[in-house]
Structure 1
Amino acid sequence: MYVAYIAVTVLAILFNGAAAVTYLSGHDYPKRQADMKRIPRSWVPVLGSLLAAGTIGLAAGLVVPLLGVLAAGGLVLYFIGALIAHTRVGSRALIGPSVFLLTAVSALALTLHQHF
């Protein structure tokens, strides 16, 4: 189980880190997504910061497991919100947020199993 815990956590760090960089770098994709979901563009850096905080928390959780649990839990809530935002506007593009949500849930479950 330890190998699965490390592999999934590192995968979640990579996924969320890449998303955070995309959101914080001013890339057009997050802006288009915000427009599609009818979310103010001023929220894009905030959402990117939340992704970055989750990424840092997951990485820190490899050393301090409680931080990993809190970060993964926060990311689970973030991606539940993303799914709600998609469905609220009738979007059928649910694969992306679902994969991120599944990764966060897996990281949370494996961290809890490994350390608590």
Structure 2
Amino acid sequence: MFVGYVVLALLLAVVLAMSGFGKLTRDPKITASLQKAGVPLHWFPPLAGCEIAGAVGLVVGIWLAPLGVAAATGVTLYFVGAVVAHLRARDLAGLGAPVVVLAVAVATLVLRLAA
């Protein structure tokens, strides 16, 4: 279980770091998707901070299990919010990525709890 957590945590951390960086630099694809979901531009830096903190927490959680659990829980809740935001805006086209990342976050949480 631990090896599975490490693999998923590192993969998810890379995705979160790239997404956070994309929000900070206002990547056009990310910006368009979030604006379709009704996310204002001034929310981008705090959202990016949450993603980067989650990435760091998942990696450090390899050695500190409670931090790994907390980070995986936070990332799961973050992406539950992302899915809800896309559903509320009826942005079904933008729903794919958050659903996939949510599934990976849940799997990461389950593996960290089981390890």
Assess same fold via TM > 0.5: yes
After superposition, the CA RMSD in angstroms is 1.2
Contact 1:17 1:55 in 2 (8 A): yes
Residue 30 of structure 1, CA deviation: 2.8
Q: How many residue pairs get matched?
A: 114
Partner deviation per Cα, 1:39-95 (whole Å, 9 max, x = no partner): 211001111111001001101101111111101100100000000000101111321
Residue 107 of structure 1, CA deviation: 0.8
Contact 1:30 1:44 in 2 (8 A): no
- Look up the equivalent residue of 1:102 and give its one-letter code: A
Q: Quick check: 1:86 aligned with 2:100?
A: no
- Which consecutive aligned stretches of 4+ in structure 1 deviate over 6 angstroms post-superposition? none
Q: Quick check: 1:108 aligned with 2:106?
A: no
Identity of matched residues, %: 33
Contact 1:34 1:44 in 2 (8 A): no
The answer for the alignment partner of 2:55 in structure 1 is: 55
State the alpha-carbon separation in 2 of the partners of residues 2 and 31 from structure 1. 35
The alignment partner of 1:110 has SS state of helix
The answer for the alignment partner of 1:19 in structure 2 is: 19
The answer for the alignment partner of 1:2 in structure 2 is: 2
Segments of structure 1 that go 5 or more residues without pairing to the other structure are none
- Look up the equivalent residue of 1:15 and give its one-letter code: V
Segments of structure 2 that go 5 or more residues without pairing to the other structure are none
